[in-house]
Amino acid sequence: MGRILAIIFAIFTVALVAAGAIHKSSTATASTPEAAVQSLLADAKARDWQGAYSYVAKASNADLQNFQRDIQGRDASLRTYSSIDSFQTRVLRQNDDEGLVRTDVKYSTAVGPFYDTRDLRVVREGGNWKVVWPVQKEQTVPPQVIPVNYLRWDIIWRGANDDWGAQDVESPHVRILSMHPTERDNSVILMGEVVNEDTVPAFVSVGATLVGKNGQDLAEETSFDKTSHVLLPKEVSPYRVDFPGIKLADIKSARMKPDSMLVPASADPVIGVLHQRVEQDAKGHTVLRGELLNESGQTVNIPHVLATFYDNSGQVIWVSDGYVDRALQPQVPQPFAVDLRDELASQVHTYRVTVNQYSLNRQE
Amino acid sequence: MRRISFWIATFVLCWVAANWAHGAELRIPQNATAGQSLTIGAGAGGTLYLVGPGQVIKRKVQGGEDVQISGDELRNAGRWIAIVRGGGGDQSQVFWVRPGKAENVNFLARPSRVPVNKPGVISGVAFVFDKSQNLVLDPTKVNFSLSVGSAHAEHTATSSNGVAWVTSSSAPKAGAAQFVASLPDVQVRRVIEQVASDPCNLKMKVIQREKGKVTVETDPVRDCTGNAVPDGTIVTFTQTDSTGRSVVDARIKKGIARAQLPAEPNARISVASGVVLGNEIRLGGGQ
C-alpha cells in the first residue's frame, strides 16, 4: 500500500512539474481576427507581455520592449499609472487574409477611466491570425541645452514673532468672468471662466452652492479637476461644477465662491496648443483635436487639457476636459482630443484650449 | 467762662476725633495714571490689596502710613479696587487708572498689494497705546504718510477712542510704497506694494519667419500709466488658419511676451492678456 502511494505521489509530482514547465507557445494561435485581438488584449490585461506579444504580427515592426512600453506607458505618463480594465471588439471587415477589428479599451487610471479606440488590422501569418500593432513611434529629442529662465514666485509668510499689526502677504485677487447654468444628463452644470487679476500666482478653486425655491441650500460642489487650479497673473481658466441628480427647475439661485490662495509657482513650462480643430472621431462623435507642444526643457508627465466652447454671443456653452496618456517630451508635438457634446457642435462658434500640467521633477 | 471752656473742649475733642477718623480712612488720589507712581493712605493699617485689570498688588501697611505704588507696578489702566483688611475693620474703594501718554502705535495697513491709480483702496488704521500697552482714549494726533519714489502724501488724523484711520488712493507709479504712522516719539512703517494694472495698448509684431514657424513678440507691455506689467504675466497669442487654431499662453519675460506659432498662409494672429485685447495681424497680408 505504501509503495502504491509513493508511486502515485511521484506521478502526481511529475505531472505538476510538467504543467508548470509548459509555456505558451511563441506561435500562439487564434482562429479568427477577433479572437487574435481578444487574446492579445486579455494577455496584456493580465500583464503577460510575452503572451500578448505572441499575437503581434511581424509586420508591426515592433519588438517586445516597444510593444510593452506602448501599452504600459513610459516617462511617468498617465499610462504608467493605469491598467486595462475591460475591452470590447467588433469586426469591421474580414476576408481570408486580413481583417479590421475595432477595439474599445477601457483603462483604469489614477484620474478615472480612460478610453482608447483603435481599428486594428489583423493579418494571417503562417496560418495564424496576428495583430498588426501600430506602436506609436516616440520621437526622441536630440541632445541639446534649452535655456529656461522664467521667473518663479516664492513667498515669505508672516512670522510668529512679527508685530500683530504687521500685514501678511495679500491673497491673490481672482474674479469670475462669467457663469452659465445648464442642465445635461439629469445634472445641473454651472460653467464659465475665472481670471487671476493679480500680479502673483494663485491657487484657485471655484465652489458653488445651489439654493432651492424655498431658500434652502440644495447642494454644494466644487470644480475639482474641471479647472486649472494654478493660475499665473492674468491667466484665464474655464471651470465647470456638476450637480448630479438636480434639476434646473428646482433652483432659485446659485452662490459662486471662488477661493484663491497665494502659492509658490513657476512660469515654466509653456505648452503651446497647435492646430486645434473640431471634427468627427471614428465613432462619428464630435471631438476637438490638436497637438500639444512642450516648449520647455523638462518632460511634462501628465498633461490635462481643458477646452472652453463659446456660442456666437461669446457665452460659454460647454467646458470639456481630458487627460493625455502620454508624457510631453520637450519640443515634441503630442496629439490630444477632447469630447464635445454632439448636440452642441452646431452652436459652437469658437473655442479655447488651456493645458494643466503635472510633472514629477518640477519644484513648484 | 465755664460754658466757653466746655465748647472749646468739645471742639478740640471733635477735631481730634475727626482727625483720627480721617487718618483711619482709605485715601486714593483721583488722578491715578498707568505707569506713574501712586500714593495711597491706608488708614488704620492691615493688608492692602489693589485689584485691577489682570493684576493684583498686595502690601502690609502700618496704621497711618502711606503706601507708595511704583509706576512699574501700576501698569494697567482701568477700574481698580483698593481693599484694606485688618487694623480695626475692612475698607474698600473703587478708583480708576487712566492710560499714560501715547507712546506706542500699532498700525494696520491694508492691502499689502494694490494696483496703481485706484482711488481709496489703501486704508491705514492706527491704535494708540501708552508704554504699558493701554489704549489711549484721549484724542491724539497721528500722522500718516504714504510715499513711493518721489511722490509723497501726508495726512494727520485725530484718534477717537484710541483709533485713528485714513484712506488713500494708490499712486500712478508702481513700486513699494512706504506707509508710515507716527506719533512725536515713535513711528511704524508698513510696505504697500503698488503693482502695475491691466496691460494697455497691447501690441505685437512678427519678428521672425523660418523653418515653418513664425515668431511673434509684443512691444514692451505696460499699463495705462506707463508701468511695466510684471514678468510672468500671461499673454495669449491665438492664430487661426486653414489647419485650425493654435494658442500659446506666453509669459512676459523682461517686459516682452514672445511665442512661436506654425507658419501657415493667410493666418490671423491676435493677442490678449486677461480680459484685455491687443492688436491683430494677418500673415501674408497687411496688418
pLDDT by residue (tens digit) across B103-136?
999 999 999 899 999 999 999 999 999 998 999 9
Q: Determine, yes or no, domain membership for B143.
A: yes
Q: Does B226 contact A at CB distance below 8 Å?
A: no
Q: Does B227 contact A at CB distance below 8 Å?
A: no
Residue A26 clears pLDDT 50, i.e. is over it = no
DSSP letters, A75-134, are TT-GGGG-EEEEEEEEEEEE-SSEEEEEEEEEEEETTEEEEEEEEEEEEEETTEEEEE--
CATH number of domain containing B46: 2.60.40
**Which whole number is the average pLDDT over A211-222?**
94
Q: Determine, yes or no, domain membership for B11.
A: yes
**Which residues numbered 158-177 in A keep a CB inside 8 Å of some CB on B?**
163-170, 177
pLDDT on residue B287: 41
Q: Cβ of A169 and B113 within 8 Å?
A: yes
Q: Cβ of A275 and B106 within 8 Å?
A: no
Residue A10 clears pLDDT 80, i.e. is over it = no
**Which whole number is the average pLDDT over A178-205?**
94
Mean pLDDT highest for which of A108-112, A158-162, A338-342? A338-342
- Poorest-confidence range of A158-172, A186-200, B152-166? A158-172
My answer on whether B125 and B148 are in the same domain is yes
pLDDT above 90 as % of chain A: 58
pLDDT on residue A9: 72
Q: Which residue has the higher pLDDT, A189 or A165?
A: A189
Give this complex's ipTM: 0.76
Q: Which residues of A touch B259 (CB under 8 A)?
A: 270, 272
Q: Does B196 contact A at CB distance below 8 Å?
A: yes
Q: Cβ of B232 and A150 within 8 Å?
A: yes
Residue A76 clears pLDDT 60, i.e. is over it = yes
pLDDT on residue A296: 85
Domain count across chain B: 3
**Which whole number is the average pLDDT over B175-197?**
92
Give me the residue label for grid cell 483603435.
A118
Q: Which residues of B touch A235 (CB under 8 A)?
A: 234, 249, 274
Using CB atoms within 10 Å of the CB of residue B248, give its burial: 0 to 12 exposed, 13 to 18 middle, 19+ buried. Answer: buried
Residue B140 clears pLDDT 80, i.e. is over it = yes
**Which whole number is the average pLDDT over A84-98?**
91
Q: Does A270 contact B at CB distance below 8 Å?
A: yes
My answer on whether B10 and B93 are in the same domain is yes
Task: Please say which residue of B157, B180, B195 terminates a domain.
Answer: B195
CA distance B66 to chain A (A): 40
Residue B221 clears pLDDT 80, i.e. is over it = yes
SS (H, E, C) A119-186: EEEEEEECCEEEEECCCCCCCCCCCCCCCCCCCEECCCCCCCCCCCCCCCCCCCCEEEEEEEEEEECC
My answer on whether B158 and B210 are in the same domain is no
Residue type (1 letter), B24: A
Q: Which residue has the higher pLDDT, B88 or B208?
A: B208
pLDDT above 90 as % of chain B: 59
Phi, psi of B171 (to 5 degrees): -75, 160
Q: Cβ of B247 and A273 within 8 Å?
A: yes
**Which whole number is the average pLDDT over A38-52?**
92
Domains, chain A, ordered by start: 23-132 (3.10.450.100), 152-265 (2.60.40.10), 269-358 (2.60.40.10)
Cα B230 from Cα B250, distance rounded (Å)? 13
**pLDDT, tens digit (0-9, with 9 covering 90-100), for B253-276:** 999 999 989 888 889 999 999 889
Cα A117 from Cα A102, distance rounded (Å)? 7
Q: Cβ of A267 and B251 within 8 Å?
A: yes
Cα B85 from Cα B93, distance rounded (Å)? 12
Q: Determine, yes or no, domain membership for B57.
A: yes
Using CB atoms within 10 Å of the CB of residue B80, give its burial: 0 to 12 exposed, 13 to 18 middle, 19+ buried. Answer: buried
Q: Cβ of A267 and B230 within 8 Å?
A: no
pLDDT on residue B45: 76
My answer on whether B163 and B205 are in the same domain is no
Q: DSSP state, B149?
A: T
pLDDT on residue B79: 94
Q: Determine, yes or no, domain membership for B39.
A: yes
Nearest residue in B to A170, CA atom: B112
Q: How confident is the model at residue B21 (pLDDT cuts 50, 70, 90)?
A: very low
Mean pLDDT highest for which of A5-9, A114-118, A264-268, B278-282? B278-282
Cα A169 from Cα A201, distance rounded (Å)? 12
Q: Determine, yes or no, domain membership for B129.
A: yes
Nearest residue in B to A148, CA atom: B253
- Poorest-confidence range of A160-174, A216-230, B74-88, B233-247? A160-174
Q: Cβ of B248 and A295 within 8 Å?
A: yes
Strand, helix or coil for residue A213: coil
Residue B7 clears pLDDT 80, i.e. is over it = no
Strands B213-218 and B222-223: unpaired
pLDDT above 70 as % of chain B: 91
Q: What is chain B's mean pLDDT, rounded?
A: 87
pLDDT on residue A21: 47
Q: How confident is the model at residue A219 (pLDDT cuts 50, 70, 90)?
A: very high
Q: Does B163 contact A at CB distance below 8 Å?
A: no
Which residue, among B125, B127, B121, has the nearest Cα to B169 in the 3D structure?
B121
Residue A177 clears pLDDT 90, i.e. is over it = yes
pLDDT on residue B258: 93
Residue B162 clears pLDDT 80, i.e. is over it = yes
Residue B94 clears pLDDT 70, i.e. is over it = yes
Q: Cβ of A236 and B274 within 8 Å?
A: yes
**Which residues numbered 120-149 in B keep a CB inside 8 Å of some CB on A?**
127
Q: Determine, yes or no, domain membership for B76.
A: yes
CA distance A314 to chain B (A): 13
pLDDT on residue B1: 60
Q: What is chain A's mean pLDDT, rounded?
A: 88
Q: Does B58 contact A at CB distance below 8 Å?
A: no
Task: Please say which residue of B147, B168, B195 terminates a domain.
Answer: B195
My answer on whether B81 and B54 are in the same domain is yes
pLDDT on residue A110: 84
Which residue, among B218, B99, B223, has the nearest Cα to B162 in the 3D structure?
B99
My answer on whether B123 and B149 are in the same domain is yes
pLDDT on residue B95: 92
Q: Does B284 contact A at CB distance below 8 Å?
A: no
Q: Does A272 contact B at CB distance below 8 Å?
A: yes
Nearest residue in B to A196, CA atom: B274
My answer on whether B142 and B160 are in the same domain is yes
CATH number of domain containing B221: 2.60.40.1930
DSSP letters, B244-270, are EEEEEEEE-BTTB-EEEEE--TT-EEE
Residue A25 clears pLDDT 80, i.e. is over it = no
Domain with B265 in it: 199-282
pLDDT above 70 as % of chain A: 93
Distances (CA, A) of A194 to A191, A227, A232, B118: 10, 9, 12, 22
Q: Which residues of B touch A309 (CB under 8 A)?
A: none
Q: Does A285 contact B at CB distance below 8 Å?
A: no
Q: Max Cα separation, chain A?
A: 96
- Poorest-confidence range of A262-266, A354-358, A359-363, B64-68? A359-363
Task: Please say which residue of B195, B222, B255 terminates a domain.
Answer: B195
Nearest residue in A to B258, CA atom: A270
Residue A165 clears pLDDT 80, i.e. is over it = no
Q: Which of A234, A263, A351, A352 to mutate to test the interface with B (most CBs of B within 10 A)?
A: A234
Residue A72 clears pLDDT 90, i.e. is over it = no
Q: Determine, yes or no, domain membership for B7.
A: yes
